[in-house]
């Protein structure tokens, strides 16, 4: 008698937040399915890519497409071409994409063209800002996906408002799965404390990476001028693209100050421990907003809007955009709220996702 073929699931990732989401789900999926990982190469810097696979205990991707950087259309087009070749070869039963990057969009389009069922981890998130490339990516992906894994009730409501009613599942935020496990391991903060000369609850952590901030000379200049005036030290792990634009706009000399400390991107464990002991987080990253919230650290978001509205509603997150006066005011009014509703689940999203997949692939 012929042995029944084990069903195959293929995950498409390409950026640092997606590697984090992939970790818990890879471990859960491998218990029941063949799990093939495709890395588009959207993040190709070692500290933004390969080191994350090592630190998160992820297997080496079966495919690394090596796309690299480029304009949105060029990058997405290259991904689509190479992904179609891989998908025709692998013939997966289900494709999973994560979040809202160009890798997400390319994976969704390739799945739709080849008529392979698609699941979207972090479905339904909306900023309602169509100037953000990420908003285009997430909306398009949701409208071709068959299964939507929503981190919150608000995300599910967003889908239903857009007429998406089938295959909607509220599972919690899978980044909390990874964060919970990492936060429970021994802290590496004492080593960083000595290296950076900082003390608990006396410093900030800054990240800037979104094109809306990095590629706009005025916005990036405003951020630099506002943040260098902080009255406490700020550790700034610099994204490669951000460093490139700081140099292009002649801001490297201005950003270096007694308070702003530029460092290379950190591995995941180091970043989590640095955030956990901080006084405040300053960021335009959606993932870091959630991590700050989970770790009970106030966050100042350098955007006008956020997909993670619960963090704002509970007082843990303040939206400031790039106006220097608004940023300065927020820096002087940092507080730790009393309310914390644990709005993003119990850290078991991966288990819930697999249970849904089991039913769908029967």
User: Looking at 209, 239, 261, 340, which residue is catalytic?
Assistant: 209
Instruction: Provide the 8-state DSSP code for 46.
Output: G
Q: Which fold would CATH assign to domain 188-331?
A: Rossmann fold (3.40.50)
Buried b / exposed e over 265-291, threshold 16 CB at 10 Å, is bbebbbbbbbbbbbbbbbbbbbbbbbb
Q: CA-CA distance, 362 to 358, in Å (whole number)? A: 6
CA-CA distance, 23 to 28, in Å (whole number)? 9
Distance, CA of 40 to CA of 232 (rounded, Å): 39
To the nearest 10°, report the CA torsion of 168, 135, 247, 331: -80
Residue-range domain boundaries for the chain: 8-173+345-360, 188-331
Q: How far apart are CA 83 and CA 113, in angstroms?
A: 11
Look at residue 148 in the predicted model and tell me its pLDDT.
Answer: 98
Instruction: Please determine whether the domains at 8-173+345-360 and 188-331 fall in the same fold group of CATH.
Output: yes
Residue 191: CB atoms within 10 Å: 11
Q: Is 209 a catalytic residue?
A: yes
- Are 259 and 230 in contact by the 8 Å Cβ rule? The answer is yes
The predicted pLDDT at position 46 comes to: 47
**Given this model, what pLDDT does residue 43 score?**
63
Mean pLDDT, contiguous 10-residue spans, the chain (362 residues): 72 92 96 96 62 80 86 88 97 97 96 98 96 94 98 97 98 94 88 90 96 94 90 92 93 81 91 96 95 96 95 96 95 93 93 97 88
Say what the pLDDT of residue 4 is.
58
Third-level CATH fold of 8-173+345-360:
Rossmann fold (3.40.50)
């Amino acid at each position: 008698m012929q042995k029944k073929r084990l069903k195959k699931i293929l995950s498409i990732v390409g950026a640092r937040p997606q590697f984090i989401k992939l970790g818990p789900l890879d471990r859960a999926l491998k218990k029941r399915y063949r799990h093939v990982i495709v890395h588009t190469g959207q993040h190709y810097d070692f500290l933004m890519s390969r080191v994350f696979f090592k630190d998160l205990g992820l297997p080496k991707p079966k495919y690394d497409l090596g796309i690299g950087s480029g304009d949105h259309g060029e990058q997405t087009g290259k991904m689509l071409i190479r992904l179609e070749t891989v998908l025709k070869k692998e013939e997966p039963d289900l494709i999973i994409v994560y979040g809202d990057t160009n890798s997400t969009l390319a994976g969704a389009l390739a799945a739709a063209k080849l008529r392979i069922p698609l699941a979207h981890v972090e479905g339904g998130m909306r900023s309602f800002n169509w100037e953000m490339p990420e908003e285009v990516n997430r909306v398009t992906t949701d409208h071709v996906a068959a299964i939507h894994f929503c981190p919150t009730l608000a995300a599910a409501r967003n889908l239903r408002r857009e007429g998406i009613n089938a295959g909607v599942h509220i599972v919690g935020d899978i980044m909390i799965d990874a964060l919970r496990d990492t936060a429970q391991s021994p802290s590496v903060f004492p080593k960083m404390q000595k290296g950076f000369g900082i003390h608990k609850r006396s410093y900030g952590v800054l990240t800037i990476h979104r094109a809306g901030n990095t590629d706009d000379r005025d916005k990036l200049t405003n951020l630099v001028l506002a943040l260098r005036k902080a009255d406490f030290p700020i550790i700034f792990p610099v994204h490669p693209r951000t460093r490139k634009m700081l140099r292009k706009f002649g801001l490297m000399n201005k950003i270096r100050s007694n308070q702003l400390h530029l460092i290379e991107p950190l591995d995941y464990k180091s970043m989590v421990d640095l955030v956990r002991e901080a006084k405040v987080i300053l960021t335009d990253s959606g993932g870091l907003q959630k991590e700050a919230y989970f770790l009970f650290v106030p966050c100042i978001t350098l955007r006008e809007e956020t997909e993670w509205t619960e963090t704002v509603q509970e007082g843990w997150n303040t939206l400031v955009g790039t106006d220097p006066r608004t940023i300065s005011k927020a820096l002087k009014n940092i507080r730790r709220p009393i309310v914390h509703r644990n709005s993003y689940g119990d850290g078991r999203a991966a288990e819930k996702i697999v249970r849904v997949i089991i039913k769908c692939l029967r």
